[in-house]
Structure 1
């Protein structure tokens, strides 16, 4: 997992592999507040952009998730959100296996979870070994706008 702020992109994240650099550079140069919510292609099906408007929910109401084919680059545009994070130990109880259809594996719960607090401009990169539980409340439920850029993991090989 990588966590940072978009303002530090040039000074602290120049070492990122090209596909991830493409994703975070797109975050830095795009006005997502003006873009309609929806799905967009950045580099065909290899790098895709999701602009999401949602209401945050209690941590207990959100399912921890992992992806095997894609890396998530999550970016907060407006509001505040907590994201639960943990290493995928392979011992978590599966709630729903949607890997074949949506590259999504939901767990019932996860051990040794920490949380990140996302504020506007924050981004986090979740690899296939990183469990994450996005969209959780900071103080109380609130409307947020976030962007998730899906980067095909094999591009880093």
Structure 2
């Protein structure tokens, strides 16, 4: 899990060949102009889910993991969004089998810790990161840029 400001994103491009392009797209797109939903940016190699949602209480937010994609999550509009986090290796209570089509598996484990994402920041989540997004109060607009591994 990485939490940093968007203006420092270049330091993480070395983690995967597509991350540089993903951060370029994040910086050059008017995210308020796009309708909510899935938008392919570079086919299925880099795509985005634009979301407008009410945040949840901690008990409602389930930890999730992905195998095929790295998540870059950015708060576009809203005050703050909290995330639960645990290392994937520590997760022991799956809610069901891994859904390969949706690239997701949920867990009933309690997060080890919580952290807060503010406007102008991003969180980068690797397959090793169990994460429970969308925690807090109020409504937010956010993007989840999916980068194929």
- Fold shared, TM-score > 0.5 on shorter chain: yes
Structure 1 residues 58-105: Cα deviation after superposition (integer angstroms, max 9, x where no partner): 111111000011111111101111011111115420113342231110
For the structure 1 residues 114 and 28, does the alpha-carbon distance in structure 2 shift closer, same or farther, using more than 3 Å as the test? same
What is the DSSP-based 3-state SS (H/G/I as helix, E as strand, rest coil) of the residue aligned with 1:99?
A: coil
Could you tell me how far apart the structure 2 residues matched to 1:132 and 1:152 are?
Answer: 18
Q: How many correspondences in the alignment?
A: 148
CA contact under 8 A between 2:39 and 2:48: conserved in structure 1? yes
CA contact under 8 A between 2:91 and 2:109: conserved in structure 1? no
Structure 1 residues 96-124: Cα deviation after superposition (integer angstroms, max 9, x where no partner): 3342231110001145x111211112111
CA contact under 8 A between 1:48 and 1:151: conserved in structure 2? yes
Could you tell me how far apart the structure 1 residues matched to 2:19 and 2:46 are?
Answer: 9
Q: Is residue 148 from structure 1 mapped to residue 147 from structure 2 by the alignment? A: no
Structure 2 match to 1:131: 130
Could you tell me how far apart the structure 2 residues matched to 1:13 and 1:127 are?
Answer: 12
Q: CA RMSD in A?
A: 1.7
CA contact under 8 A between 2:13 and 2:19: conserved in structure 1? no
Could you tell me how far apart the structure 2 residues matched to 1:98 and 1:81 are?
Answer: 26
What is the DSSP-based 3-state SS (H/G/I as helix, E as strand, rest coil) of the residue aligned with 2:22?
A: helix
Where in structure 1 do 4 or more consecutive aligned residues deviate above 6 Å?
Answer: none
TM-score by length of 1: 0.86
What is the DSSP-based 3-state SS (H/G/I as helix, E as strand, rest coil) of the residue aligned with 2:30?
A: coil
Structure 2 match to 1:97: 97
Structure 1 residues 17-44: Cα deviation after superposition (integer angstroms, max 9, x where no partner): 3311111221111111122111111111
Note the residue ranges of structure 1 that are not aligned, 5 or more in a row. none
| Equivalences for residues 1-157 of structure 1 within 5 A | 1-10=1-10, 12-13=11-12, 15-79=14-78, 80-89=80-89, 91-110=91-110, 113-137=112-136, 141-153=137-149
Q: How far off its partner does 1:48 sit?
A: 1.0
Could you tell me how far apart the structure 1 residues matched to 2:116 and 2:70 are?
Answer: 20
What is the DSSP-based 3-state SS (H/G/I as helix, E as strand, rest coil) of the residue aligned with 2:97?
A: strand
What is the DSSP-based 3-state SS (H/G/I as helix, E as strand, rest coil) of the residue aligned with 2:33?
A: coil
